[in-house]
Amino acid sequence: MRAPETKLKAAFKAVTGNRLIDGDVVWMMKDGSWTLNMLEAAAFPAEDAEAALAQGAAQPTLVTGVYLIAFEPGIGPVGKEKWREEIRARGPTVRRDLGKQAHLAQGDNI
């Protein structure tokens, strides 16, 4: 029997999407620019998250599919988004010797 899942309401949100030029997963930093490293993403308090999302969506020539995720500073995505975002960032969960995930085996950050 599975343990019941706890509902985690994150105090912070991050803005994520895909870079338009190559489809890479990106996260918004505090200054409104984008990073490939999820741990560099800005953690916006819940009350500021919608404004940050609007700022990201206002950059359609840079990013696409912009949305908010539950996020904790220094940890990254939390709650139900954690695994989805890890897979988005690292690539397929099979053949870890290929794609973006091959670099992670060498200790590189996302």
Residue 84 lies in a domain: yes
Residue 36 lies in a domain: yes
State pLDDT tens for residues 23-77.
999 999 999 999 999 889 999 999 999 999 999 999 999 999 999 999 999 888 8
Residue 4 lies in a domain: no
Q: Show the domain range for 29.
A: 12-104
Cβ(14)–Cβ(44) under 8 Å? yes
Residue 37 lies in a domain: yes
Alpha carbon 106 to its chain's center = 21
Residue 5 lies in a domain: no
Residue 33 lies in a domain: yes
Residue 110 lies in a domain: no
Q: How many domains does the chain have?
A: 1
Cα 27 to Cα 73: distance, rounded to the nearest angstrom: 13
- List, in sequence order, every beta strand (DSSP E) within the chain: 12-19, 25-28, 34-35, 44-45, 63-72, 76-77
Residue 109 lies in a domain: no
pLDDT over 60 at 86, yes or no: yes
